[in-house]
């Protein structure tokens, strides 16, 4: 690694210089990063991306309908929820893509099974032992060793989507960024002694791996600490849990610790906060506001360091909701929903038509885009790993990257 | 078609030099009982190696006993049920059932850790964990009771013959449900249900042809879970003749499983897994080297004898085995606390295990934990060091009353030099390099609490991750 002296000056030097210093003569890594954001509970897509010109919308949503004037217009037909101003701005900058009508054949309307289907990339998830991102992680692990290839950040048990067969995917509790790579214990003399040991000729292959891994962890820790040091420019994030998690992820991306896949969650896991069967409007407003502002801050933070073009964030929820509201100012479990992609180098805009509001599947919007086509694009076009072994067969990738 | 989950994980690719290291080894020498020799004398180091592999580390008293009794008598003891075990097991089963019924995964793992820490028969627990990784089912959410019964079943048959063990597992409703047995119908045999029985548990992926899968699923028809028990309903069973591994007949579940269990390919696969779990993760053993072990399994020797052969062997007490495994998170933490005669910070460790990649209540896939170098990445290794430092640091959040000075004095080590030697013998597999010894001495010399500093430096050493 580069000189520790330079690292300690980090707060006062621009990030790009710091990165060059930390990496020494090595070429800067240009690895792309995928951030997957799970919205637990089944987000009401129809009140997220709104076809405000469609007469059916007003009929289906007598109390929940949103006023066209308050929407953030995407085009002459579609608008984003009033609280999603930051998403609207990203859209205008070409840094947001809206993929409409995403789901899978025979989508289940049970929270757990639908979530498992999305997480495993299998419409019938019985017996599937790993998540699609877990399988991608196993693939990346072959070349990322000894860096951890993936990380879950959040306060719920690790979601199944990132369950890998081989690689160990660590979890980081909210706000605990400082304990990564040993944290404070890293300055303990014993830890320093251990991590300064150099692989030797007499070492067995296990011991060599341990020593190399220790060194990599220590370098990551130093980079992360240098960036968090006093005087470093702290980007401004709103005071939401999700924003805190995304701030952590942005720091880890900046520190170039080798993590290619981040998994983050909003809604609290289980039957999550997006499950609004009654009096939906207030809660849904709050959640979409948090989502939009948190991702907006994340985008601004990374853009400032010219890192957003290496990042792609994808949201998903286990299902959409019924087109018609249910008489209790809420909506019930549905099928298709929109997926948002945010990043500095994607094909922004609207992908696919808004699902019909009159041709429904037992009251819910039908899907026209298989989530596996979306996953195929994330894997092949973004992470540049083969999608077939991960998804079970070749799906035509959406042209979003 | 669904994503192919059954191919991974495979054992880590061995480095070329490690492979060549084993390819020249004579199988006859390898599995002959080890006799202490000038090249590899019996003493504290090989005894500690044995007790780490056949258990979860040893106290000084246990090491001394092993040193005095010699290798073969010590191994006899390890393989035999101790007198105090029955009482211990009765008490723990009550607590474990209660924890499982509560549905709280952390409570369940906490009791398991307590068992590993306190069991008077550590080798049984070691082998049960091996089988838990071999038949690695995940409990459905909130169904820990089934998981606990499954583990109890593995424990009960751990030392039996492999056909007896897998026969019991095949009759386990937890396995049946977890693998999708309830969708296996006479009119529509469920091939994904049959797949792990062939690929993961017996003959391996090469033998798992479409025909073998179909015939096994057909043999299994007629079984249903009622009230938590598996029951056979004759009219739902496919009565036509089946063909499996070249045998023809109207096989039922037990016939088919027996055919698979007794196949030589099954014995070869199991020998490979045992080698990795008990001898070395740094190299995969050539088939010729493992042939004697595979033959014993194929002859249906009980596992107590198969494992006995492995533990007693020249190969086990050689450089091919010493320090050639990476401790699992459970071995790392339980071993540390056990050796130093401390209390176990079970709920703290239970929480940390998930992060380190070894949630005992949820193996990653049906093939269990990949282990070896797959345990370690830049985050998990640092977390392991941090946890070990916290455990030995003394007063603090996770203090468990570990006092190295007191333990050393209890065993008659009172001078700084002998105390240092004592800790190294107790905790580290194999010799440390000169530079390490120097820095250990410095840590001791400059600290107001020399022995505690020394202990911290030892558990942070890269060598401490090995066993």
Q: What pLDDT does A396 receive? A: 94
| Alpha helices for B283-345 (secondary structure H) | 287-298, 303-312, 329-339
Q: Which of residues 214-243 of A touch B (CB under 8 A)?
A: 214, 216-218, 220-221
Tell whether the model's pLDDT for residue B196 goes beyond 80. yes
User: Between these two residues, A290 and B417, which has the higher pLDDT value?
Assistant: A290
What is the band of B397 on the pLDDT scale with cuts at 50, 70, 90? low
Instruction: Annotate B211-227 with DSSP letters as a single string.
Output: HHHHHHHHHTTTEEEET
Q: What pLDDT does B19 receive? A: 43
Q: Which of residues 140-159 of A touch B (CB under 8 A)?
A: 141, 145-149, 151, 157-158
- B230's enclosing H/E stretch is strand B229-232
Q: What pLDDT does A9 receive? A: 33
Among residues A243, A229, A240, A228, the alpha carbon closest in space to that of A300 is found at A243
Q: What pLDDT does A12 receive? A: 34
CB-closest option in B183, B354, B435 to A171: B354
Asked if B15's CB is within 8 angstroms of A165's CB, the reply is no
Asked if B3's CB is within 8 angstroms of A166's CB, the reply is no
Asked if B355's CB is within 8 angstroms of A194's CB, the reply is no
The predicted-structure confidence for B127-155, as pLDDT tens digits, reads as follows: 999 999 999 988 777 788 888 999 999 99
Chain A residue closest in CA terms to B6: A129
Asked if A151's CB is within 8 angstroms of B379's CB, the reply is yes
CB-closest option in B8, B389, B439 to A165: B8
Cβ A345 vs Cβ A275: under 8 Å = no
Q: How far apart are CA B123 and CA B11, in angstroms?
A: 23
CB-closest option in B193, B457, B462 to A210: B462
Least confident of A172-186, B34-48, B373-387: A172-186
Asked if B5's CB is within 8 angstroms of A165's CB, the reply is yes
In angstroms, the separation between the Cα of residue A81 and the nearest Cα of chain B is 35
The predicted-structure confidence for B16-39, as pLDDT tens digits, reads as follows: 444 448 988 999 999 999 999 999
Asked if A163's CB is within 8 angstroms of B364's CB, the reply is yes
Q: How far apart are CA B397 and CA A108, in angstroms?
A: 45
The predicted-structure confidence for B350-379, as pLDDT tens digits, reads as follows: 888 888 999 999 899 989 999 999 999 999
Phi-psi region of B103 (alpha: psi -120 to 50; beta: other; left: phi over 0): left
Asked if A149's CB is within 8 angstroms of B462's CB, the reply is no
In angstroms, the separation between the Cα of residue A378 and the nearest Cα of chain B is 16
Name every residue whose Cβ is closer than 8 Å to that of residue A71 and which is 6 or more positions away in sequence: A50, A52, A79, A80, A81, A82
Chain B residue closest in CA terms to A208: B462
Q: How far apart are CA A171 and CA A155, in angstroms?
A: 9
**Which residues in chain B have their CB less than 8 angstroms from residue A167's CB?**
374, 377
- HSE at residue A392, side-chain half, CA atoms within 13 A, is 18
CB-closest option in A132, A145, A188 to B389: A188
Question: Average pLDDT, whole number, for chain B?
Answer: 90
Cβ B113 vs Cβ B346: under 8 Å = yes
Q: What pLDDT does A258 receive? A: 94
Using DSSP bridges, classify how beta strands A311-317 and A33-39 pair: parallel, antiparallel or unpaired.
parallel
The predicted-structure confidence for B161-181, as pLDDT tens digits, reads as follows: 999 999 999 999 888 988 889
Asked if B3's CB is within 8 angstroms of A121's CB, the reply is yes
Which long-range CB contacts under 8 A does B165-171 form with residues at least 24 apart? B165/B131, B165/B303, B166/B201, B166/B202, B166/B257, B166/B260, B166/B261, B167/B254, B167/B257, B167/B258, B167/B261, B169/B135, B169/B201, B170/B197, B170/B253, B170/B254, B170/B257, B171/B230
In angstroms, the separation between the Cα of residue A390 and the nearest Cα of chain B is 6
CB atoms within 10 A of CB B88: 15
Tell whether the model's pLDDT for residue B279 goes beyond 60. yes
The predicted-structure confidence for B307-352, as pLDDT tens digits, reads as follows: 999 999 999 999 999 999 999 999 999 999 999 998 888 888 888 8
Q: What pLDDT does B445 receive? A: 75
Tokens of B312: 């007693």
Asked if A393's CB is within 8 angstroms of B466's CB, the reply is no
Q: Is B54 exposed, middle or buried (0-12, 13-18, 19+ CB in 10 A)?
A: buried
Instruction: Annotate A323-351 with DSSP letters as a single string.
Output: SS--SSS---B-S-EEEEEEETTS--EEE
Residue with tokens 């292959």: A205
Tokens of A191: 């830890």
* Complex ipTM: 0.91
A213 Cβ under 8 Å from any chain B Cβ: yes
Q: What pLDDT does A232 receive? A: 65
Asked if A146's CB is within 8 angstroms of B462's CB, the reply is no
Cβ B375 vs Cβ B329: under 8 Å = yes
Q: What pLDDT does A334 receive? A: 96
| DSSP state, residue B344 | P
Asked if B1's CB is within 8 angstroms of A129's CB, the reply is no
3-state SS class at A232: coil
Question: Average pLDDT, whole number, for chain A?
Answer: 90
Q: How far apart are CA B324 and CA A206, in angstroms?
A: 7
Q: How far apart are CA B269 and CA B258, in angstroms?
A: 16
Tell whether the model's pLDDT for residue B7 goes beyond 90. no
A250 Cβ under 8 Å from any chain B Cβ: no
Chains A–B, number of C-beta pairs less than 8 Å apart: 194
Q: How far apart are CA B408 and CA B417, in angstroms?
A: 11
Q: What pLDDT does A352 receive? A: 96
CB-closest option in B377, B435, B439 to A168: B377
């Amino acid at each position: 690694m580069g000189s520790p002296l330079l690292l300690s000056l980090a707060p006062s030097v621009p990030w790009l210089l710091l990165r060059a210093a930390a990496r020494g003569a090595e070429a800067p890594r240009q690895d792309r990063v995928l951030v997957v954001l799970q919205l637990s509970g089944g987000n009401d897509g129809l009140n997220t991306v709104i076809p405000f010109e469609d007469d059916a919308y007003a009929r289906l949503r007598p109390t929940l309908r949103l006023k066209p004037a308050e929407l953030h217009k995407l085009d002459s037909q579609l608008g984003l929820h009033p609280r999603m101003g930051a998403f609207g701005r990203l859209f205008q900058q070409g840094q947001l893509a809206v993929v409409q009508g995403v789901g899978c054949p025979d989508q289940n309307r049970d929270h757990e099974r639908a979530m498992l289907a999305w997480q495993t990339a299998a419409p019938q998830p019985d017996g599937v032992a790993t998540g699609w991102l877990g399988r991608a992680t196993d693939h990346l692990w072959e070349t990322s060793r000894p860096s951890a290839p993936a990380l879950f950040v959040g306060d719920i048990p690790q979601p199944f989507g990132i369950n890998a067969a081989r690689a160990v995917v660590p979890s980081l509790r909210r706000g605990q960024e400082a304990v990564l790579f040993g944290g404070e214990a890293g300055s303990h003399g014993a830890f320093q002694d251990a991590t300064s040991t150099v692989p030797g000729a007499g070492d067995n292959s296990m011991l060599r791996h341990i020593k190399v891994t220790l060194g990599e962890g220590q370098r990551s820790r130093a980079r992360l600490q240098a960036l968090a040091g006093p005087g470093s420019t702290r980007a401004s994030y709103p005071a939401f849990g999700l924003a805190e998690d995304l701030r952590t992820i942005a720091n880890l991306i900046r520190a170039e610790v080798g993590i290619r896949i981040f998994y983050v969650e909003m809604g609290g896991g289980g039957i999550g906060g997006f499950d609004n069967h009654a009096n939906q409007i207030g809660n849904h407003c709050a959640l979409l506001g948090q989502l939009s502002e948190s991702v907006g801050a994340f985008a601004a933070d990374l853009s400032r360091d010219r890192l957003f073009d290496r990042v792609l964030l994808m949201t998903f929820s286990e299902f959409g909701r019924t087109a018609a509201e249910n008489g209790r100012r809420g909506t019930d479990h549905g099928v298709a929903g929109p997926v948002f992609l945010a990043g500095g180098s994607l094909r922004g805009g609207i992908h696919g038509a808004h699902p019909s509001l009159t041709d429904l599947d037992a009251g819910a919007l039908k899907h026209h885009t298989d989530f596996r086509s979306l996953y195929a694009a994330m894997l092949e076009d973004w992470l540049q790993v083969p999608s077939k072994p991960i998804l079970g067969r070749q799906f035509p990738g959406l042209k979003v990257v | 078609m669904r994503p192919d989950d059954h191919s991974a994980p495979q054992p880590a690719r061995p480095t070329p030099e490690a492979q060549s290291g084993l390819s020249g080894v004579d199988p006859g020498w390898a599995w002959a009982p080890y006799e202490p020799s000038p090249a590899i004398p019996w003493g504290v180091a090989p005894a500690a190696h044995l007790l780490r592999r056949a258990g979860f580390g040893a106290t000084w008293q246990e090491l001394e006993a092993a040193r005095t009794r010699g290798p073969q008598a010590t191994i006899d003891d390890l393989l035999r049920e101790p007198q105090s075990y029955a009482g211990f097991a009765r008490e723990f089963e009550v607590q474990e059932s209660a924890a499982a019924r509560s549905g709280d995964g952390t409570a369940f793992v906490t009791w398991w850790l307590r068992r590993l820490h306190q069991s008077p028969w550590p080798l049984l627990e070691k082998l049960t964990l091996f089988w838990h990784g071999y038949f690695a089912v995940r409990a459905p959410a909130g169904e820990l009771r089934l998981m606990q019964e499954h583990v109890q079943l593995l424990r009960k048959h751990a030392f039996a013959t492999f056909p007896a063990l897998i026969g019991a597992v095949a009759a386990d409703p937890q396995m049946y449900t977890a693998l999708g047995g309830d969708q296996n119908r006479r009119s529509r045999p469920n091939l994904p249900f049959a797949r792990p029985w062939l690929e993961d548990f017996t003959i391996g992926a090469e033998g798992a042809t479409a025909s073998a899968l179909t015939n096994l699923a057909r043999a299994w028809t007629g079984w249903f879970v009622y009230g938590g028990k598996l029951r056979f309903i004759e009219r739902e069973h496919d009565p036509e003749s089946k063909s499996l591994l070249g045998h023809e007949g109207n096989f039922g579940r037990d016939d088919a499983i027996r055919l698979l269990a007794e196949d030589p390919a099954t014995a070869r696969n199991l020998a490979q897994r045992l080698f990795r779990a008990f001898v070395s993760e740094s190299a995969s053993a050539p088939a010729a080297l493992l042939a004697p072990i595979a033959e014993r399994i194929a002859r249906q020797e009980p596992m107590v004898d198969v494992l006995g052969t492995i533990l007693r062997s020249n190969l086990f007490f050689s450089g091919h085995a010493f320090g050639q495994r990476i401790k699992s998170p459970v071995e790392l933490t339980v071993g540390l606390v056990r050796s130093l005669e401390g209390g176990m910070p079970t709920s703290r460790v239970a929480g940390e295990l998930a992060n380190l990649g070894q949630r005992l209540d949820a193996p990653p896939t049906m093939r269990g934990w990949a282990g070896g170098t797959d345990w370690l990445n830049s985050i998990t290794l640092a977390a392991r060091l941090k946890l070990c430092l916290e455990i030995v640091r003394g007063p603090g959040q996770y203090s468990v009353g570990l006092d190295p000075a007191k333990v050393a004095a209890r065993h008659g080590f009172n001078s700084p030099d002998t105390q240092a030697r004592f800790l190294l013998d107790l905790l580290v597999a194999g010799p440390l390099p000169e530079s390490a010894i120097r820095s250990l001495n410095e840590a001791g010399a400059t600290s107001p609490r020399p022995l505690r500093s020394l202990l911290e430096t030892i558990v942070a050493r890269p060598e401490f991750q090995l066993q």
